[in-house]
């Protein structure tokens, strides 16, 4: 239990579960299901279409949600696009880039999640784009010295794209976004940032990038809702998925698109999720500093208590996760046996196969959040050691 | 066939039983754990080969090894008619389905497909 635990109803209902898969999805803040339920039973209507009072209520909540996000992240409301999550945001970004440029050189971080890597990999296979990988330093950060040299040597006529994670979901290190922004500015590069492991966990300056994507379910919010923050220079670009709500005027031979983010939000939005955002953002902002302090304290605790002779940490992260390579046993066995003890962790390729494959067939990732305490971590580490011993005995017996 | 396992209440005991089961009888030897025998789409590498009319498997994960061996043993003992209709639903009938999450079911579906291809 931490001072935050009571805000998360999951733990009152599941007191035995030790949930350490927060980099995949966090548990939800109590206001979120309450607001969703109220929307569904009292206010359900569509946004931006209807003149009746239910429609007006939804419109107000929708714009209130954008206003909260805009104030929090220091961006304009016009730049905020609601979508289904980070994956959609990154795929749309790749498509916008492909629509504007026929040929680019795209630098993608070697620590990228598949959601970031695959849209650009596909571009490179299907059209005139080339993908190059920014490798990782021994400290687990993007090798920005290499990138700087590389950008300095590239033909000035070539359009550059830099697509990187703010924080890798495997390594947990915070990449230097300021330096990336400055390099991009110097070389007129387009920037795409996967911020799904950063926003809501650390104060983040995401201004000045072309595309920044994140998901709400990773920061105590609803499933199926994300945001793409679109750079001012891209607000007049053609929408990736045109449809109802994205236009001002349509005739049989002419279309006038919405100004701002509206043109990218066609169709009915995930409104029961959007209406939960104002209270969620308010809660995060109120507790941001405490959450960060808690997160860092746990990161230090994990680093000092991890039995690294049995489980080699891939990096000692700055944020709420650690990925471990066991020196014996398959990671899948650890997952099953931890689950049998009510401990939920992520194992396998972590949706970052190119990076994880450098460290064997898979990793065990423990990731924590504001409701995780030291006892949760100790229980997980002790159980990992028990399983290690059990698997080691079996391996010896089999040999 | 797996009554002993199904009678266990504790999840850890179940997994230990599965690990032990995987160590019983014949396993595919390391020399045959090659790409040609790999069952694609499993989270943990799983290899399957046929010797005359008997199938033999091996997985790096001890639990996957045990689960796969249970399925393969069941299939080895089934008659031709039962083999033809062997699918994920059969696993429910023999009580194995609760052990398989969606991710594991995908792997098992690939194992069943491969068993049928090799039959």
Amino acid B1: pLDDT: 67
Is B43 in Cβ contact with A332 (below 8 Å)?
yes
Read off the pLDDT band of B101 (50, 70, 90): low
Residue linked to tokens 């999550």: A85
Higher-pLDDT residue of A312 and B101 is A312
Which chain A residue lies closest to B23 (C-alpha atoms)? A398
Question: What is the count of residue pairs from A and B with beta carbons less than 8 Å apart?
Answer: 44
Nearest chain A CA: its distance from B87 CA (Å): 23
Candidate from A348, A361, A394 with C-beta closest to B62: A394
pLDDT tens for residues B48-97?
999 888 999 999 899 999 989 999 998 999 888 888 888 877 877 777 77
Amino acid A57: pLDDT: 93
- Topology of the domain covering A32-279: 3.40.640
Amino acid A273: pLDDT: 98
Residue linked to tokens 């209902």: A13
Residue percentage of chain A with pLDDT more than 90: 84
> Is the per-residue pLDDT at A239 higher than 70?
yes
Chain A environment of B12 (Cβ under 8 Å): 337, 340-341
Candidate from A330, A339, A348 with C-beta closest to B60: A330
pLDDT tens for residues B103-116?
667 778 888 889 98
- CATH (one of 3.90.1150.10, 3.40.50.300, 3.40.50.970, 3.30.565.10) for A5-29+288-398: 3.90.1150.10
Residue A348 sits at the chain B interface (C-beta within 8 Å): yes
Of A370, A321, A379, A292, nearest in space to A5 by CA: A370
Read off the pLDDT band of A121 (50, 70, 90): very high
Which chain B residue lies closest to A341 (C-alpha atoms)? B12
Query: Mean pLDDT over residues A365-375, rounded?
Result: 97
Residue A391 sits at the chain B interface (C-beta within 8 Å): yes
Task: Please report the ipTM that was assigned to this predicted complex.
Answer: 0.82
Residue B43 sits at the chain A interface (C-beta within 8 Å): yes
Amino acid B89: pLDDT: 79
Is B63 in Cβ contact with A332 (below 8 Å)?
yes
Residue A394 sits at the chain B interface (C-beta within 8 Å): yes
Amino acid B25: pLDDT: 80
Query: Mean pLDDT over residues B16-45, rounded?
Result: 86
Is B15 in Cβ contact with A340 (below 8 Å)?
yes
Which pair of tokens denotes residue A301? Answer: 């605790």
Which chain A residue lies closest to B9 (C-alpha atoms)? A340
pTM of this prediction exceeds 0.90: yes
Query: Mean pLDDT over residues A208-227, rounded?
Result: 98
Q: Report domain extents, chain A.
A: 5-29+288-398, 32-279
Using the Cα atoms of residue A396, residue A398, residue B2 and residue B4 in order, give the sign of their dihedral. Answer: negative
Nearest chain A CA: its distance from B81 CA (Å): 34
Burial string for A62-90 (b: 16+ CB within 10 Å, else e) reads beebbebbbebbebeeebbbbbebbbbbb
Residue A392 sits at the chain B interface (C-beta within 8 Å): no
Q: How distant is the alpha carbon of residue A46 from its chain centre?
A: 27
């Amino acid at each position: 239990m931490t001072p935050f635990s009571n805000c998360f109803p999951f733990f009152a209902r599941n007191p035995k579960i030790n949930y350490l898969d927060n980099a995949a999805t966090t548990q939800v803040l109590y206001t979120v299901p309450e607001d969703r339920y109220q929307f569904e039973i009292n206010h359900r209507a569509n946004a931006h279409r209807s003149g009746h009072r239910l429609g007006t209520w939804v419109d107000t909540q929708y714009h209130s949600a954008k206003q909260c996000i805009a104030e929090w992240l220091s961006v304009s409301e016009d730049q905020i696009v609601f979508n289904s999550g980070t994956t959609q945001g990154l795929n749309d970004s790749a498509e916008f880039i492909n629509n504007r440029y026929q040929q680019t050189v795209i630098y993608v971080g070697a620590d990228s999640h598949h959601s970031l890597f695959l849209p650009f990999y596909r571009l490179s296979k299907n059209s005139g784009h080339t993908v190059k990988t920014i490798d990782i330093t021994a400290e687990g950060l993007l090798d920005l010295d290499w990138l700087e040299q590389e950008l300095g040597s590239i033909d000035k006529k070539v359009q550059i794209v830099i697509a990187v994670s703010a924080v890798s979901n495997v390594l947990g290190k915070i990449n230097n976004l300021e330096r990336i922004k400055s390099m991009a500015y110097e070389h007129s590069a387009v920037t795409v940032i996967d911020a799904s492991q950063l926003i809501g966990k650390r104060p983040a300056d995401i201004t000045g990038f072309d595309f920044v994507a994140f998901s709400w379910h990773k920061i105590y919010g609803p499933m199926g809702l994300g945001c793409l923050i679109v750079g001012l220079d891209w607000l007049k670009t053609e929408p990736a998925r045109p449809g109802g709500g994205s236009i001002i005027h349509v005739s049989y031979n002419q279309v006038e698109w919405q100004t701002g983010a509206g043109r990218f939000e066609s169709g009915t939005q995930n409104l029961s999720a959007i209406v939960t955002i104002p209270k969620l953002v308010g809660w995060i902002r109120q507790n941001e500093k405490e959450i960060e302090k808690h997160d860092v304290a746990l990161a230090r605790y994990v680093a000092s208590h991890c039995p690294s002779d049995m489980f080699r940490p891939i990096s000692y992260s700055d944020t709420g996760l650690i990925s471990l390579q066991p020196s014996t046993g398959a990671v899948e066995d650890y997952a099953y046996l931890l689950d049998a003890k009510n401990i939920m962790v992520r194992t396998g390729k972590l949706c970052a196969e190119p990076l994880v494959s450098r460290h064997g067939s898979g990793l065990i990732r423990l990731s924590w959040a504001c409701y995780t305490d030291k006892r949760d971590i100790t229980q997980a580490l002790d159980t990992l050691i028990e399983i290690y011993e059990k698997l080691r005995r079996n391996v010896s017996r089999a040999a | 066939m797996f009554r002993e396992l199904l009678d266990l209440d504790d999840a850890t005991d179940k997994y230990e039983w599965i690990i032990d089961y995987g160590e019983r009888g014949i396993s595919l030897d390391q020399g045959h754990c090659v790409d040609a025998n790999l069952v694609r789409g499993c989270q943990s590498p799983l290899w399957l080969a046929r010797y005359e009319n008997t199938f033999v498997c091996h997985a790096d994960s001890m639990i996957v090894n045990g689960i796969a061996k249970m399925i393969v043993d069941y299939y080895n003992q089934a008659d031709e008619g039962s083999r033809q209709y062997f699918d994920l639903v059969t696993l429910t009938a023999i009580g194995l389905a609760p052990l398989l999450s969606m991710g594991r079911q995908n792997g098992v579906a690939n194992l069943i497909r491969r068993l049928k291809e090799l039959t």
